[in-house]
Structure 1
Amino acid sequence: MSGYAYVTAEGLKKLRAEVEQLERIERPSISRQIGEAIDKGDLSENAEYDAAKEAQGLLEAKISRLRGILANSRIIDETKIDTSKVQMMNKVTIKNQKNGAVMTYTLVSETEADFKQGKLSINTPIAKGLMGKLVGDVVEIQVPNGLIPFEIVDISL
């Protein structure tokens, strides 16, 4: 994994809890499933064994990916966040210039993104287009529906 993953202290805590859940609960569960499938006999025609082995591979890949993120995580000091221009951890209110819709998003790391809670990954086209801009700036951002102009209405914490 290249680069750093910037996260909040809360985000890092959740990430660690997820890795622990996967390692302490999910991993043993899949191992038991594999053991039970082996006990049933002929592995060459055992769909349960194949499914359990595939689930194990996916789980191990996920654990490895999350451990990589943890190893490269840097905690953001939320007390030093500037609101003069758009940056990570800012709450940004934008207005769609085409239809007048006003939206507010908090720009967060990929691991903390949750669109339903208004937490937008900094890797999305909208967030990338807003980074470094000031209140009052109008930014044209390419989204799946085309090029849309957004006005930055407010930047806060």
Structure 2
Amino acid sequence: MDSIPITVQGFKRLERELERLKKERPEVILAIKEAREEGDLRENAGYDAARERQGMLEARINFIESRMPRFNVIDLATLDGEQVIFGATVEIEDVDTGDVKKYTLLGPDEAEPSKGSISILSPVGQALLGKYEGDEIVVEAPRGKINYEIISIAFYGPIEQD
């Protein structure tokens, strides 16, 4: 995927995270310096912990920075329609069990299933894209194929996820 869809809110959240991580750099460098001054680095847990923190910090900064140019920022307030697309909130019913679920389809960088949003790249997200109310979809799951019917499609505009 060349372009990665993300909401305006999700993009701003990543910008804030990147800014916060960059501000942490001097702290981590100072912690490494202080730990190094304690002596023998082979048995210096403080040094190892500071280096590990630095590695994780830099990896996250690099990850976010590498994705920023690829983001396609989408304002959910501008979306509507009858078809399932990025930003749609879809209510689906398991045809076999009658269980009803509601998901908002978002990009991979902001989907949080525990908060009711799934990635458009997930198996369910992929099966839903382009479909309409009343359509049935089949999702391959570890327990086997699951048949869902699309009950409703709605666009609620910007969502809060903090």
Same fold (TM over 0.5): yes
* 8 Å CA contact 1:37, 1:48 repeated in 2: yes
CA distance in 1, matches of 2:79, 2:25: 39
Deviations 1:60-90 (A, max 9, x none): 0111001112121121143442422111100
Tell me the CA shift for residue 98 of structure 1. 1.6
Deviations 1:11-68 (A, max 9, x none): 11101001111111x3222222211211101223222212211221121011100111
CA distance in 2, matches of 1:65, 1:17: 14
* 8 Å CA contact 1:129, 1:139 repeated in 2: yes
State the secondary structure of the residue aligned to 1:112: coil
Pick one of 133, 136, 141 that aligns with 2:134. Answer: 136
CA distance in 2, matches of 1:77, 1:42: 54
1:109 matched residue in structure 2 = 107
CA distance in 2, matches of 1:33, 1:144: 45
CA distance in 2, matches of 1:77, 1:114: 18
User: Could you list the runs of 5+ residues in structure 1 that have no partner in the other structure?
Assistant: none
Report the count of equivalent residues: 155
State the secondary structure of the residue aligned to 2:109: helix
Pick one of 47, 55, 61 that aligns with 1:49. Answer: 47
The amino acid that maps onto 2:9 is: E
Kindly indicate whether residue 89 of structure 2 is the aligned counterpart of residue 98 of structure 1.
no
CA distance in 2, matches of 1:148, 1:52: 47
User: Could you list the runs of 5+ residues in structure 2 that have no partner in the other structure?
Assistant: 156-162
* 8 Å CA contact 1:90, 1:107 repeated in 2: yes
* 8 Å CA contact 1:126, 1:143 repeated in 2: no
2:13 matched residue in structure 1 = 14
Name the % identity.
37
* 8 Å CA contact 1:109, 1:121 repeated in 2: yes
Q: Normalized against structure 2, the TM-score is what?
A: 0.89
Q: CA RMSD in A?
A: 1.5
The amino acid that maps onto 1:45 is: E
CA distance in 2, matches of 1:116, 1:70: 25
CA distance in 2, matches of 1:91, 1:119: 8
Kindly indicate whether residue 109 of structure 2 is the aligned counterpart of residue 125 of structure 1.
no
Tell me the CA shift for residue 105 of structure 1. 0.5
